[in-house]
Amino acid sequence: MSFNPVHHWNDVLLDTIRAVGGPPTTLSRAGAIVHVAIHDAAAAITRESATYALKYAPPGDDRPPSLFAAINQAAHRALSALYPARDFSIALDEASARVPENDPVRIVRGATLGARAADTVLRLRAADGSEVDAPYTAALEPGAWRPTGSGPAASPHWGLVKPWALPTGDHFRPRPPGDADDYEKLLASGFYQRQVEEVRELGGRESRSRTEDQTRLAHFWANDLDGTYKPPGQHYAHTKAIALSYKLPVVENARLFALLSLALADAAIAAWDVKYLGPVDVWRPETAIHLAGSDGRPETAPDPSWRPLSADRSGVSFTPPFPAYVSGHATFAGAWAETLRLFLGTDAVEFAATTDDPHAKGAVRRFRSLTNAAEEDAISRVYLGVHYRFDADAGLDLGRSVAGHVFANFLPK
């Protein structure tokens, strides 16, 4: 198999995500910085698509910059700036050994260009609001999110981070679940009650209603619980597999991963806007089931012994430390599927995906379309017991809207 520097550095990025961890917000930002830098370095040389940030005039002779050297230096420079405690020199040496040109002038020109591309993107994002450390005070009224034991509120300010492509983080903000713009309306609705009961039945650790396949797919997509592929890393991994099956050339890989990373980064901003800055910061199913009836409505008895399926993974309950609505997992899934659908010109992409997660028992899942995979990813959170169906549905739609905007307005060929 021929060496592909885009895939090489994507693998390095995924290894870093697994090792360093962090919330989906900061990880999606890092992925965008790396892949946009790679794309801009490649696009500046080939002129096959518009750059995102880099302005570059090619040299006026017959010794253009080396494409591979430019990609390698862009990725290395970006990763080193983002993760200064980690050493990426071995990864750079491995990639540099595969540069096809022997001309030192072209190699130096490529490396210089790649460094410029990374520096340009890093400067552009240096004061984007991601550095803010905003406190979050949980409201204790029924229906309002509060910590579930997995940590304090993660990235409560992220909806105010400067988007990469969207005009503002709330550009595609959906209506609150059931159109309930306050907690009393939400909890009083049959819509909400039915969805709580669905999670109680299908998402509990001891559920007798969930099928074996639903349990397997819940664990398969639960990559945020053990660090196998912290979101949105799994979507990068699946994209690489699909790109290989399509035999995309290096430059097309650079554009695909850049478009995807822009969509994922803005999907995080848009989802976190809804989670923390919308009319309601919806509590997680675990809290809703434990505190059922706390609003004075006795229709459903509280069940403090209920634990989500996610508890199987560590022996203790784990629910991600941020509000339920909308599902970040579903928003990433929608953005991923829509980006690939638009890029490839079809939704009918059949592929297999694997995980080494022991809870998924070495699962291999096969998908008949991008939509099929995204919808399974989204609904898996209901079976895992950490989201309502309305979180998943709204998240998918939000992610698709974000990706459509990115594709229509950035990196045109």
The answer to whether the Cα torsion of 98, 103, 106, 107 is positive or negative is: positive
Token pair listed for 218: 């819940």
Predicted local confidence at residue 362, as pLDDT = 60
β-pair type (351-354, 364-367): antiparallel
The answer to whether the Cα torsion of 350, 345, 48, 81 is positive or negative is: negative
Residue 188, Cβ density class (10 Å: 0-12 exposed, 13-18 middle, ≥19 buried): middle
Residue 122, Cβ density class (10 Å: 0-12 exposed, 13-18 middle, ≥19 buried): middle
Predicted local confidence at residue 232, as pLDDT = 85
Predicted local confidence at residue 311, as pLDDT = 75
Token pair listed for 28: 């999606």
40 near 117, Cβ under 8 Å?
A: yes
Token pair listed for 306: 């209920």
Predicted local confidence at residue 295, as pLDDT = 55
Predicted local confidence at residue 59, as pLDDT = 87
pTM: 0.96
Radius of gyration of the chain from its Cα atoms, rounded to whole angstroms:
22
Predicted local confidence at residue 382, as pLDDT = 98
Alpha-carbon distance of 272 to 155, in angstroms, equals: 8
Predicted local confidence at residue 36, as pLDDT = 98
Predicted local confidence at residue 301, as pLDDT = 76
Give the chain's domains with CATH numbers. 1-126 (1.20.144.10), 138-413 (1.10.606.20)
Token pair listed for 230: 């912290």
Tens digit of pLDDT at every position of the chain (413 positions): 689 999 999 999 999 998 998 999 999 999 999 999 999 999 999 999 999 999 998 888 999 999 999 999 999 999 999 999 999 999 999 999 999 999 999 999 999 999 999 999 999 999 999 999 888 998 889 999 999 988 999 999 999 999 999 999 999 999 999 999 999 999 999 999 999 999 999 999 999 999 999 998 998 888 765 555 567 888 999 999 999 999 999 999 999 999 999 999 999 999 999 999 999 999 999 999 999 765 545 566 789 899 999 876 555 668 999 999 999 999 999 999 999 999 999 999 999 887 755 565 567 889 999 999 999 999 999 999 999 999 999 999 999 999 999 999 999 99
The answer to whether the Cα torsion of 192, 193, 196, 202 is positive or negative is: negative
Beta strands in 334-408 (DSSP E): 351-354, 364-367
Alpha-carbon distance of 246 to 349, in angstroms, equals: 10
Token pair listed for 231: 């979101």
Predicted local confidence at residue 315, as pLDDT = 57
**Omega before 326 cis (within 30°)?**
yes
Contacts 24+ apart (CB under 8 A), 365-370: 365/216, 365/217, 365/220, 370/336, 370/337, 370/340, 370/341
